[in-house]
Amino acid sequence: MGESIKGLKRTAYCGTFDMKNVGEEITVFGWVQRQRDLGNLIFIDLRDRTGILQLSFNESTDREIFEKAKATRTEWVVAAKGIVAERESKNPDLPTGDIEVMVSDFRIVSKAQTPPFEVEKSDQVGDDVTLKYRYLQLRNEKLTKNILMRHKIARIARDYFYANDFIEIETPMMIKSTPEGARDYVVPSRVHNGKFYALPQSPQIYKQLTMIAGFDRYIQLARCFRDEDLRADRQPEFTQIDLEMSFVDCDDIMDMTEGFIQKLMQETLGVTVAEKLPRMTFEEAMNRYGSDKPDTRYEMLIEDVSDWANKTEFVVFKSVLADGGSVKAMVAKNAAAQYTRKKIDKLTEHAKGIGAKGLAYIRWADAEPSCSFNKFLREGELEALLQQLGAEQGDVVFLISDKTRKALTIMGSLRLIIAKELDIIPEGKWNYLWITEMPFFELDEESGEWVAAHHPFTMPMEESVPYLDADKSKVKAQAFDLVLNGVELCSGSMRITDCALQTKMFELLGMTQEEIDAKFGFLVDAYHYAAPPHGGLALGLDRIAMLICGADSLRDVVAFPKVQNASELMSGAPSAIDAVQLDELGIKLSRIEE
pLDDT digits (tens, 9 = 90+) for 85-128: 999 999 999 999 999 999 999 999 999 999 999 999 998 999 99
| Residue burial 312-338, b: 16+ Cβ < 10 Å; e: rest | bebebbbebbeeebbbbbbbbbebbee
pLDDT digits (tens, 9 = 90+) for 557-576: 999 999 988 999 999 999 99
Determine the pLDDT at residue 267: 98
CB-count burial class (<10 Å; 0-12, 13-18, 19+) for 561: buried
Average pLDDT over residues 536-548: 97
| Mean model confidence pLDDT for the chain | 94
Determine the pLDDT at residue 17: 97
Q: What whole-number distance in Å separates Cα of residue 78 and Cα of residue 579?
A: 45
- Nearest by Cα to 370 from 397, 343, 399, 335: 397
pLDDT digits (tens, 9 = 90+) for 211-268: 999 999 999 999 999 998 777 678 999 999 999 999 999 999 999 999 999 999 999 9
Is the four-CA dihedral 30, 35, 39, 42 of positive or negative sign? negative
| Residue burial 340-351, b: 16+ Cβ < 10 Å; e: rest | eeeebeebbeeb
pLDDT digits (tens, 9 = 90+) for 54-82: 999 999 999 999 999 999 999 999 999 99
How many residues make up the chain in this entry?
Answer: 594
Determine the pLDDT at residue 330: 98
Contacts of 234 (CB under 8 A, 6+ apart): 228, 554
Is the four-CA dihedral 98, 549, 410, 387 of positive or negative sign? negative
Per cent of the chain over pLDDT 90 is: 84
Residue 474 in this model has a pLDDT that exceeds 70: yes
Average pLDDT over residues 506-524: 85
Average pLDDT over residues 44-50: 97
Residue 590 in this model has a pLDDT that exceeds 90: no
Q: How confident is the model at residue 53 (pLDDT cuts 50, 70, 90)?
A: very high
Give the global pTM: 0.92
Q: How confident is the model at residue 39 (pLDDT cuts 50, 70, 90)?
A: very high
pLDDT digits (tens, 9 = 90+) for 306-338: 999 999 999 999 999 999 999 999 999 999 999
